[in-house]
Structure 1
Amino acid sequence: MAGSRLETIGSVFSRTRDLMRAGVLKEKPLWFDIYKAFPPLREPVFRRPRLRYGKAKAAIQDIFYHEDRIRAKFFSVYGSGHKAFDLLNPNFKSTCQRFVEKYMELQDLGEADEEKLFTETGKALLAEGVVLRRVREARNVGVRPQASPEGKQPPEDAQEPKMDAPSP
């Protein structure tokens, strides 16, 4: 037969004090005198949590910034890209971050339509030399060899086949 659980009544200090008074504990615990000399501001007692009915509301709300929607659309259209993040360079900006900054810059100039602003941002980055490839295009087009750092072109068989125009 189980007895009543009295650990929820009172604090650890008050229960230990009562056990020493009743003679159950012969020696004081090491912490007892320190706790008695420096008691906490609020006595730590057990409190049963209140039951909640229905769906509990989220205590922390999600935080969404305007830039987050731009980033989400960027990644859905262009993917994560082929360039890795350079974490050793503190001034490194990813392609997505450059896109967001350019988007916000163009938005401050007065453009209101989001679709048009998105395409204009892509064109502006292309003018700066940042090539963005859409996800569907990247899947359909294979990876082509690029020129080596010395400036040499890849072998002829690796380049795209050239189509000769019919001569009249």
Structure 2
Amino acid sequence: MGRLCPFSLGPFSGTRDLLRSRVLAEAQKPLWFDVYAAFPPLREPVYQEPRQRYGKVKDVIPPILYQEDEIRATFYEAFGNGPKAFELSRLNFKSTSQRFVEKFNELQKEGKIEPEKLFEETGKQLLAEGIILRRKGTANVARQTREEAKTRDLVLEMNLQNILEERQEQKQDQEEEHLESTDAKKENPLS
């Protein structure tokens, strides 16, 4: 109702009217009401939107994106968050991505490495310092190779079982033939 009326009702007059009509009980009266009634301001504080002199002025907020944000984004894209959580309780804690960004900037300032190879070289430098970075997809690749190896092993095992069964059948056939021939020799010793 406040925006539709040509005159604006402030919080004091609205609260006063609610108390008079007994919609608000005395126990629900706000703390500031008695102070405001005892010491009223010279003019009632009413917020009015200032008139726009020059039409609609849009507030242009430039995008805030630093170079290190781009480096960090490529780092997280390649390596992910990593296995450890951030230790925010330690004041001097530096995340792996922060160390990567610092080393990247350091190598970039030296200027000895080509910009295309700078990302890989930074990873190698951190590895030399003892920080192990694992690419996002390597665990999946390792899992896939393990699964492929399992299926390959199953196929080999099945082939070996088939070969062994065939050999056993051949041996049994040979033994049966040998037994039959020895039985035949026993029956006919002259032949």
Q: TM-score, normalised by structure 1?
A: 0.55
Matched position secondary structure for 1:35: coil
Which position in structure 2 is the counterpart of 1:109? Answer: 110
| 1:59 to partner: Cα distance | 5.6
Equivalent residues in 2 for 1:4-153 (5 A)? 6=5, 8-10=6-8, 12=10, 30=34, 31-36=36-41, 39=42, 43-47=45-49, 60-111=61-112, 113-142=114-143
1:11 touches 1:46 (CA, 8 Å); kept in 2? no
CA 1:139–1:14: 2 relative to 1, 3 Å: closer
Amino acid at match of 1:67: E
CA 1:12–1:81: 2 relative to 1, 3 Å: closer
CA distance in 1, matches of 2:113, 2:119: 10
CA distance in 2, matches of 1:85, 1:47: 45
CA 1:114–1:57: 2 relative to 1, 3 Å: farther
User: Size of the alignment, in residue pairs?
Assistant: 122
| 1:88 to partner: Cα distance | 2.7
| 1:95 to partner: Cα distance | 1.1
Comparing both structures, which one devotes a greater share of its residues to helix? 2
Amino acid at match of 2:137: R
- Per-residue CA shift, 1:131-154, capped at 9, x if unaligned? 211111122225xxxxxxxxxxxx
CA distance in 2, matches of 1:62, 1:96: 22
Matched position secondary structure for 1:134: coil
Between structure 1 and structure 2, the one with the greater Rg is: 2
CA 1:79–1:58: 2 relative to 1, 3 Å: farther
1:103 touches 1:117 (CA, 8 Å); kept in 2? yes
| 1:33 to partner: Cα distance | 4.0
1:9 touches 1:46 (CA, 8 Å); kept in 2? no
Alignment gaps of 5+ in structure 2: 21-32, 144-191
Alignment gaps of 5+ in structure 1: 143-168
Identical residues among aligned pairs (%): 40
Task: Provide the aligned C-alpha RMSD in A.
Answer: 3.9
